[in-house]
């Protein structure tokens, strides 16, 4: 990663959207001061992350790792519904050197206190960059059918979740997730993390065609998604057993370990970054989720 050239920031409590826009403009102006050539404000998307306090730190780390690769306006929304009504903001401009210029993106951290956490769409809407896609990362288990999620689904182009973060309730929440498929494009980090294993399993065709038992040494989510994928692609029932691990470490097919896929697993920023490069609906994933939900 290139070194951050300039990082300027501003914080405020009980702020308004107009104030945020005004301060952002000031920061942009200040970041270019003294440069021979103006910095470029480059955006390829608006990237929104919904991170309840317990996810805030991880969300910030991931965003830091990918800010350079996806110059964008990033909104980090931290809901604190139990606190007094209000919005606190921390705004920053992060610039990265490229030749004799600098590419700048904007990060808007908003703490939504009290009732402000109930209607996030009304806060996000005026901050979206026109005409660019909106990617929305929801940390943890989304409150399916709740107002805050429903509003956001209405204004985004892609919802990114990580069903690894959904605890022990799996596969139940997959049925609710599937209800969103016709309303927005959905990505799942847990699914993305199985990609190199899926490539490996695909390379075992046609020997894998008759597999009936799957044992996954990995997370619950990865087990359910891989089983759902194989069932939906191969068209027959497959029994699943999950040997729970923190990450996907192996797969047994009918009791025989599959070979290990080549290469190293990608880091969290790389995985999210790859998902942000995707725009089209993933029908294979949707079929895997539906199949997982039926179990």
Partner 1 sequence: MTTATEEQNPLLEGLRVRRRPDPCILVIFGASGDLTTKKLMPALYSLQARHLLPEKFGILGAARTEESDDEFRERMKQAVKDHGRDEFKQDVWDELAQGMRYSTLDFADDSGEDKLRDTLNALDQERGTQGNRVYYFAVPPSAIGTLVQEVAERRGAEGWVRLIIEKPFGHDLASANELNATIKERFQESDVFRIDHYLGKETVQNMLALRFANGIFEPIWNRQFIDHVQITVAESIGIEGRAGYYEQAGAIRDIFQNHLLQLVAITAMEPPIDFTADSVRNEKVKVLKAMHTPGPKHVVRGQYGAGFVEGVDVRGYREEDGVAPGSMTETFVAAKLFVDNWRWADTPFYVRMGKRLARRETTIAIQFKRAPHPPFEDGGAEGLRPNVLLIHVQPNEGVSLAVGAKVPGQGMTIRTVHMDFLYGGAFREGLPEAYERLILDAMLGDATLFTRSDEIEEQWALVDAIVAFWQRDRPSFPNYAAGTWGPAAADELLHRDGRSWRRH
Give least dist CB 39 to partner 1, A: 10
**Residue 222: in which H helix or E strand, if any?**
helix 220-234
- Pick between residue 28 and residue 101 the one whose CB is nearest to partner 1: 101
Nearer to partner 1, 168 or 182 (CB): 182
Maximum distance among all alpha carbons in the chain? 67
Residue closer to partner 1 (CB basis): 97 or 140 = 97
Q: How far apart are the first and last CA of the chain?
A: 43
CB of 252 to partner 1, least distance (A): 17
Q: How far is the CB of 152 from partner 1 (least distance, A)?
A: 25
Cα separation, 105 vs 88, in Å, equals 20
Q: How far is CA 83 from CA 20, 78, 140, 187, 256, in A?
A: 21, 12, 20, 31, 53
Residues that bind partner 1 (CB under 8 A): 40, 42, 44, 68-71, 96, 98-101, 103, 195, 198-199, 201-202, 205-206, 208-210, 229-230, 232-236, 262-263, 282-285, 287
The CA dihedral of 137, 143, 144, 149, to the nearest 10 degrees, is -50
User: 207 vs 246, which CB is nearer to partner 1?
Assistant: 207
40 or 128: CB nearest partner 1: 40
Nearer to partner 1, 181 or 285 (CB): 285
Distance of closest approach, residue 23 Cβ to partner 1, in angstroms: 21
Provide DSSP, 67-111.
TTTS--EEEEEEEETTS-SEEEEEEEEEEEEETTEEEEEEEEEEE
Round to whole Å and give the CA distance between 216 and 240.
8
Find the shortest distance in angstroms from Cβ 191 to partner 1: 10
Four-residue CA torsion sign, 245, 274, 267, 63? negative
27 Cβ contact list (under 8 Å, min separation 6):
8, 9, 10, 91, 92, 93, 106
- Find the shortest distance in angstroms from Cβ 144 to partner 1: 24
């Amino acid at each position: 990663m290139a070194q951050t050239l300039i990082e300027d920031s501003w914080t405020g409590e009980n702020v308004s959207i107009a104030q945020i826009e005004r301060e952002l403009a000031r920061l942009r102006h200040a970041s270019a001061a003294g440069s021979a050539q103006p910095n470029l404000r480059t955006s390829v998307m608006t990237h929104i992350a919904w991170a309840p306090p317990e996810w805030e730190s991880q969300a910030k780390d991931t965003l830091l790792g990918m800010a350079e690769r996806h110059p964008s306006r990033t909104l980090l929304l931290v809901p604190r519904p139990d606190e007094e009504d209000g919005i606190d903001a921390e705004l920053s401009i992060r610039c990265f050197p490229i030749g004799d210029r600098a590419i700048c993106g904007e990060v808007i951290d908003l703490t939504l206190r009290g009732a402000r956490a109930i209607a996030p769409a009304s806060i996000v809407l005026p901050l979206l960059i026109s005409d660019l896609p909106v990617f929305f990362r929801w940390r943890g288990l989304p409150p399916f059918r709740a107002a805050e999620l429903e509003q956001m689904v209405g204004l985004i182009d892609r919802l990114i979740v990580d069903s690894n973060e959904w605890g022990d309730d799996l596969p139940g929440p997959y049925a609710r997730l599937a209800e969103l498929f016709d309303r927005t494009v959905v990505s799942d980090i847990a699914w993305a993390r199985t990609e190199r294993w899926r490539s490996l399993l695909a390379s075992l065709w046609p020997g894998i065609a008759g597999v009936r038992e799957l044992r996954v040494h990995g997370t619950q989510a990865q087990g359910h998604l891989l089983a759902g994928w194989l069932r939906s692609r191969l068209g027959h029932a497959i029994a699943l057993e999950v040997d729970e691990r923190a990450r996907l470490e192996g797969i047994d097919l009918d009791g025989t370990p599959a070979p290990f896929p080549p290469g190293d697993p990608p880091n969290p920023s790389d995985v999210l970054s790859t998902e942000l490069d995707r725009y089209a609906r993933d029908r294979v994933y949707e079929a895997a989720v539906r199949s997982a939900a039926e179990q």
